Amino acid sequence: MLQTDEIVGAWRNSPASAVPPSELVLVTDFDGTLADIVPDPAQTVARPDSLEALSKLVRLLADVIVLSSRTHAQLEQLVPISGVRLIGDSGRAIPRKAHQEALQQFNTDVAVLLRGMPGAWLEVKPASSAIHFRNTNLSGQEMLAFIQPLLDGRRLTADLGRKVIEVHTPNAGKGTALAALLPAEDPSGVVCFGDDENDRSMFEYVSSLEIPHTCVGVSSPEAPPHLFDRCDVVVDGPQEASAFLNEIVEWAAAGSPLD
């Protein structure tokens, strides 16, 4: 685990900390980053210290974005902070008709398959579907093999995360969403936080930017291999992620004309 002085040093020595706070955009995942992972996602709550940090950063930074696989409606309940930009379903656009039909048929078929699997359940979202299996004894690879026949011949992609499989159209995810969003914001720097497979494309996109950037990986025993290869800093779980966010608050407050 990082000590407090190590977290301070990691941020103060990062490229993004050289940017004026009012020109910095912060992007963060929710589950596993702002909130601890729990057996029932419906019982998830954000860490109070993380929410407090975001509420302060909204006044200090150019933009604060929560980019999550949760739906927008869920994020409104989980991150009740005015000014935070909430982007649900990993920023995926509603798929075109052919992909919608493929996803709807997959949902119908996999729902039947999951009836015989206690502890697994299907979550249907506007632009994707999620198969949750944390409360089963199956490994991720076993679950992928279980649903693979339903994916064959359909133009859909299945991404294995932390006891969840996200099914969606190809080339759709957080990296694509940020690539469409950030150029219009024209920030001078970007910092992003994430913990799971669906954050990989975000890390890849942000790390490719020519402006100062810092990618913060939030580790766990369930993190996929090489997930944090593009990250500048890796912290241990949501508690250290919160400490890092609060260090950004201290830095931004010190450099802001609002104080």
Write down the domain spans for the chain: 4-92+173-254, 97-168
| Ramachandran angles phi, psi of 126, nearest 5° | -60, -40
Neighbours of 257 (CB within 10 A): 7
pTM for the structure as a whole:
0.92
| Architecture per CATH, 97-168 | 2-Layer Sandwich (3.30)
Return the pLDDT at 193.
98
Residue 87 has a pLDDT of 97
Angle of helix 237-254 relative to helix 48-60, nearest 10 degrees, comes to: 30
pLDDT of residue 256: 57
Q: What residue spans of the chain are helical by DSSP H?
A: 4-12, 48-60, 72-78, 97-114, 140-151, 174-185, 200-207, 237-254
Residues 6+ apart with CB under 8 A from 198: 29, 69, 90, 159, 161, 166, 173, 174
Structure-token match 């940090």, residue found? 53
> Residue 1: its pLDDT value, please?
60
pLDDT tens series, the chain, 259 aa: 666 678 878 999 999 999 999 999 999 999 999 999 998 888 999 999 999 999 999 999 999 999 999 999 999 999 999 999 999 999 998 888 988 999 999 999 999 999 989 999 999 999 999 999 999 999 999 999 999 999 988 889 999 999 999 999 887 789 999 999 999 999 999 999 999 999 999 999 999 999 999 999 999 999 988 999 999 999 999 999 999 999 999 999 997 554 3
| Domain 4-92+173-254: CATH architecture, name and number where available | 3-Layer(aba) Sandwich (3.40)
How many residues can be counted in the chain? 259
CA–CA distance, 55 with 253 (Å, rounded to integer): 12
